[in-house]
Each structure stands twice: as structure tokens, then as C-alpha cells.
Chain A
């Protein structure tokens, strides 16, 4: 009478003992995996000793750009940042703006990334709702504080693409959205394009 229960509990125990071996696979979803892939690829480039040399600096920057370009949807980011003004622009203007915007992001952030020094990246959580998802991570600096970074991603053709980053609770897109609309309101769209272009020229010098 007692046997089957005993056997069942035994089987259950064995099953349970196997469980802890696969917690990562169960926890990290597809979205986190894809973000992690990109982040790891960037870290690989950053940790590459050969590429750290000053003469290889340009190659390193180029490599980082390539990796980031694959995961980040700059068009969507530019569109969201331009917000209401996006609809008023012609397709050519939009195309030009996307290029300028991605240059701006690259110039601003690639430099920041390059200062990376053995910070650890912890993947905390992901939440998928339909086509959209949020991947929560944090960057743990050796001694100082930890910086929460959230990736807002959406699925397009089976691939998750980043459309916004939230650092310390501040959205990148929202930041540019308010800046751009302010510049456009106080002067004009042309002025904004001029400003972006000047900035790119200055940074790449």
C-alpha cells in the first residue's frame, strides 16, 4: 500500500535534485539572451588586449559600432525622439536625421563605453508583453555604486531590437525627445539638423 507513494516520492526527489542544474535556462528568456549576446560581444571587444593599444583604437571603435548597430534600431529611436515632428518630415529628411542621430549616439556613448573597466553586468529580470519586452540589468562597478540599466526592446522579424535605454530611471529617448522639441520650437528643424551636424564634426575631429 505504501510502496507506490514511496516510489513516487523517490522519483520526485530525483527530479528535484536535477532542477537546480538548469535554473539559468529557465530564467533567462529569449529577449535577455539576445541582449546578453550583444553586450557580451561588446565586452569581448573591450577586453581584447590587442585592440586596447592606442594604434588600434579606430578598429576597436568600428567593431563596437558594428555590434551595436545589429541590435539597436536607430531608426525607431530617431523616430521616437523626434516624436511629433517625425510626421512632418519628408522621407529624405527622415533618412538624413536617422544617420545624424545614430552618429550622435555613437559619438556620445562609444566614448563612455570605452572607459569600461571590469564592471560586471548582472541580468535581473525580463518582462515580455506581446511584441515588446523589457530587460532589466545592472552594471556593478568594482567599488562604487551599481547602475540600473533597462533595455526596452521590441520584436521585428524574429529579432529583438532595442528602441530605448533607461539608465538610472531616465529614458534616453525621452531625454532627446524633450531636447529636440525644445530646439525645434524655439528655432526650427533645420537648426536642429545643423546643431547635430556640427556636433558630429566636432566629435569626430
Chain B
């Protein structure tokens, strides 16, 4: 009787251990996928603002928003609004942007990734959540610039 009980305990021990490891495995898997996928599970810190561009030229959700090359947030959405690109930017908590800041779409290097560069302004007023960066510079389309001056116009 005692022997049966003993083996039962042993079996339970192994099963618990396996279950325990499995649980750890699932947890790490979830952690990795969240990290790699840049997903945000917990409510993110910061606030959202909007910026309108004539040309979003290659900006995708997830692109970074930078001041002086330092990331201060990211692009969360790229939408079409009245035939213009409306970007939703998630700005980190603690970063204050003047309401005359200029947002420009730039490229890292010559053919690198696109990102939104913000140059802070002089205004005493700051953008609040849901605010809008009025002054924007669209992505410069080098191709069309070149073709314009090379081929001229009809």
C-alpha cells in the first residue's frame, strides 16, 4: 500500500516539474514574441499627437520619432485623411513638444529607413494629447526632383 502511494507521489512530482517547466517555456515565448514584435500589452506611457503630411513616402507604423537622433516615440498609425497622410505619433511621457515644432520625414542615410524628425520650436505653448503638429515637411522625393531638372517640363 505504501509502495503504491510512493510511486504515485513520484509520478506527481515529475508531472509537476514538467508542468512547471512548460509554464516557464510559455512565459518566455510570450515575452519574446512581445519584445520582438514591438507589441505593447500593458498600457503604454506617453501621449498621442497627430501630424499631417502631403507625402508620407514610405513611413510605416512602428517607425521612430526622433529629436536630435534620439528616439522619443514612434508612429502608431498611418491613415489617409482628405487625400493627405495623417500620422498618429506616440510620444514618450516626459517629452514636451512646443506647438511650433516642425515634423519632417527623413531617411536614415541615403536609402535607409524612414523616420519622423521633430525639431523643437520657440513657443511657450506645448502640444497636449490629441494635439497636432501644424508645421510639417514631407518626404523629399529625390527621384521626382531629379527628373524635374533633368527632363524639364513639356
Give the contact-size bracket for chain A. 20 to 34
Chain B positions 104-154 with a Cβ under 8 Å from a chain A Cβ: 104, 119-122, 124, 134-135, 137-141, 145, 148-149, 152-153
> How many residues of B are counted as interface, with CB atoms below 8 angstroms from the partner's CB atoms?
23
| Contact in complex: B137, A177 (CB < 8 Å) | no
| Contact in complex: A178, B119 (CB < 8 Å) | yes
Task: List B contacts of A5 (CB < 8 A).
Answer: none
| Contact in complex: A143, B137 (CB < 8 Å) | no
| Contact in complex: B137, A171 (CB < 8 Å) | yes
How far is the CB of B2 from the nearest CB of chain A, in Å? 80
Between A82, A152, A173, the greatest number of chain B beta carbons within 10 A of the residue's beta carbon is seen for: A173
Interface: A166 (CB within 8 A): yes
Complex interface: stretch among A12-20, A83-91, A110-118, A191-199:
A83-91
Interface: A174 (CB within 8 A): yes
| Contact in complex: A166, B100 (CB < 8 Å) | no
Report the number of A-B residue pairs with Cβ-Cβ less than 8 Å.
58
| Contact in complex: A152, B122 (CB < 8 Å) | no
Known contacts A174-B102, A174-B104; A169/B121 CB under 8 A: no
Please, how many angstroms separate the alpha-carbon atoms of A83 and B102 in the complex? Answer: 10
Ordered by A's residue number, 12 sampled pairs between the chains whose C-beta atoms are within 8 Å are: A80-B100, A80-B121, A83-B119, A145-B149, A146-B153, A166-B137, A168-B145, A169-B138, A169-B139, A169-B141, A170-B140, A173-B102
